[in-house]
Structure 1
Amino acid sequence: MSTATSTETRELAPVSTESLAALLVAKERPPRPSSLSTSLTFGWRAVLKIKHVPEQLFDVTAFPIMNLLMFTYLFGGALAGSPTDYIQFVLPGILVMSVVMITMYTGVSVNIDIEKGVFDRFRSLPIWRPSAMVGYLLGDALRYTIASVIMLCMGLLLGYRADGGVMGVVAGIALLLVFSFAFSWIWTMFGLLLRTEKSVMSVSMMVIFPLTFLSNVFVDPRTMPGWLQAFVNNSPVTHLASAVRGLMAGEWPAADVMWTLGWSALFVVVFGPVTMRLYNRK
């Protein structure tokens, strides 16, 4: 006995473009996020990366403390008579050196995200283009603040006293953060320009080491040869260290503060557009 199965074919009703659009877009399109909100979102992303990989804080904790202890007790007696006297001079300088040196990790983070393909997703989003870069810098500003606080706490234990009080210390750290934010644009450029994170670190160290050590971070430039003084006295790190040292000491080094702000503006004006041009063409 056989059973015949009949298949009934039904024709689908035609769907108009208007009805399909009404089905897919049931509500109004949300407004495009502002440049500030997108930058803060990417900044929060950078903070979350620190949360999930806490080893990133090693360079803002152990490294500054090691530098402060090593230079204070190795050279304090020879350069200032005692470590206690030397720390009044060297702590603001090492604070500047430590924060400026860790700015290079901004470029390393950018390069890692490029290799992973994350930037391709960012570029497809309807957001303000520079927000991804600004977010990196905002997230790293937290790292700079942590390094500054740790250095100051360690300095207080070793005998450092800021005659400028709380306001002088806050002003010095604020100026350091402004400079570091602007200086980091150089490393974002290298992060986009170079192929690997190792090459970014190598080039960054070649620039940072001479710039930080050939300054007034550790000694007064007046003890250097004349030809070297000409370079050191005009170095942006020298102006920054003098400004931070003066503000924490309760003084107002107007010339060094203005030079530091001028260098910061120059870095942003020159390397900011170059970075964004590379980002758009990458």
Structure 2
Amino acid sequence: MKASTGSSPRPSFVEDVTSLTGRHVRLMSRRPSSMISAIVLPLVFAALFLAVLGRPMERTGVDYVQYLLPAIVIQAMFFTAISASIWAAEDAAGGMIDRLRSLPISRTSPVFGLLGGELTRAVVSVAVLIAAGLVMGFELQRGIAGAVAFVLVALGWAAAGCMAYLVLGFAIAKVETVQITGGLIYYPLLLVSNLFVPAQAFPDWLRPIVENQPFSRIADALRAVSTDGYDEPLRAVIIAAVWIVVVVAVFAALAPRAFGRKA
């Protein structure tokens, strides 16, 4: 019988990710501001947009609560992504990444650990926003299947956004620079989209961009699975899923290089 070497087996990728996800969730629980950005700010935006645009939009025949809530969910998921980039930059700048890099773990597990923590917050955010939307008059008109599709598309978009911004945070490794860069990406996509007003409100030359950029495609899918009257909901979901898969795949491939980069 062979003598035991006394060495313990190397943790698996799943164990690495689970452990790092737990760490991130614990850190978030000690920083209440991280939950405020994911829940309170989107609710404030929802109230402001309803107050300013609710009646004018209803005069044009748009049920604005039904139109707005998917946009608020998308916005909340992007706030989560921006937060993920800040956590990644803090870990890189604070030396945590150097410590993790010295351990026998997968190069992608810190990225997926942060992603797991942010998706945990995204689940809470989506649940709270749907509940608040129901109070405001929002309805999941396509039943249970539509409600499930709504949640899955929202969380898929959160995963895509977080993956992209985590790579950004690890690569830049400076919190202030990450915040500025994240805003420069986010606001043009937000403003040139159909999130808060229909694409028909934009000039003809700009409308194709508005209709086909990822924010608009995700919004189309969320509206199609939550509101009766939208044509081809399956097609809208497939297009959104393609965007989500492409973004996740591209930035998951870049994640090991970003994590391995010296801060």
TM-score normalised to structure 1 length:
0.85
Give, in angstroms, the shift of residue 195 of structure 1: 4.3
Pick one of 74, 79, 85 that aligns with 2:52: 74
Matched, 1:146 2:151: no
Runs of 5+ in structure 1 lacking a partner?
A: 1-21
Q: Match of 1:90?
A: 68
Q: Match of 1:101?
A: 79
Higher Rg: 1
Code of the aligned partner of 2:9:
P
Q: Match of 1:280?
A: 260
> Aligned ranges for residues 154-173 of structure 1 at < 5 Å?
154-173=132-151
Indicate how the Cα distance of structure 1 residues 82 and 226 shifts in structure 2: closer, same or farther if over 3 A, else same.
closer
Distance in 2 (alpha carbons) for counterparts of 1:134 and 1:280: 14
Alignment deviations for residues 250-270 of structure 1 (CA, whole Å, 9 cap, x no partner): 666222212222112221232
Alignment deviations for residues 37-66 of structure 1 (CA, whole Å, 9 cap, x no partner): 211111111111122222321111210110
Q: Which moved more, 1:234-243 or 1:253-262?
A: 253-262
Q: Match of 2:226?
A: 248
Pick one of 172, 175, 179 that aligns with 1:194: 172
For the Cα contact (< 8 Å) 1:84–1:160, is it kept in 2? Answer: no
Distance in 1 (alpha carbons) for counterparts of 2:202 and 2:61: 22
For the Cα contact (< 8 Å) 1:91–1:155, is it kept in 2? Answer: yes
Matched, 1:217 2:195: yes
Distance in 2 (alpha carbons) for counterparts of 1:206 and 1:101: 13
Pick one of 266, 272, 276 that aligns with 2:246: 266
TM-score normalised to structure 2 length:
0.91
Pick one of 189, 211, 214 that aligns with 1:236: 214
Alignment deviations for residues 188-243 of structure 1 (CA, whole Å, 9 cap, x no partner): 22212224201101110111111122111112212321111111111011110110
Alignment deviations for residues 4-35 of structure 1 (CA, whole Å, 9 cap, x no partner): xxxxxxxxxxxxxxxxxx9xxx7632221111
For the Cα contact (< 8 Å) 1:76–1:83, is it kept in 2? Answer: no
Indicate how the Cα distance of structure 1 residues 84 and 245 shifts in structure 2: closer, same or farther if over 3 A, else same.
closer
For the Cα contact (< 8 Å) 1:171–1:247, is it kept in 2? Answer: yes
**Identical positions, percent:** 26
Number of residue pairs matched? 258
Code of the aligned partner of 2:87:
S
Distance in 1 (alpha carbons) for counterparts of 2:214 and 2:125: 20
Distance in 2 (alpha carbons) for counterparts of 1:155 and 1:195: 37
Pick one of 67, 86, 103 that aligns with 1:125: 103
Runs of 5+ in structure 2 lacking a partner?
A: none
Give, in angstroms, the shift of residue 271 of structure 1: 2.1
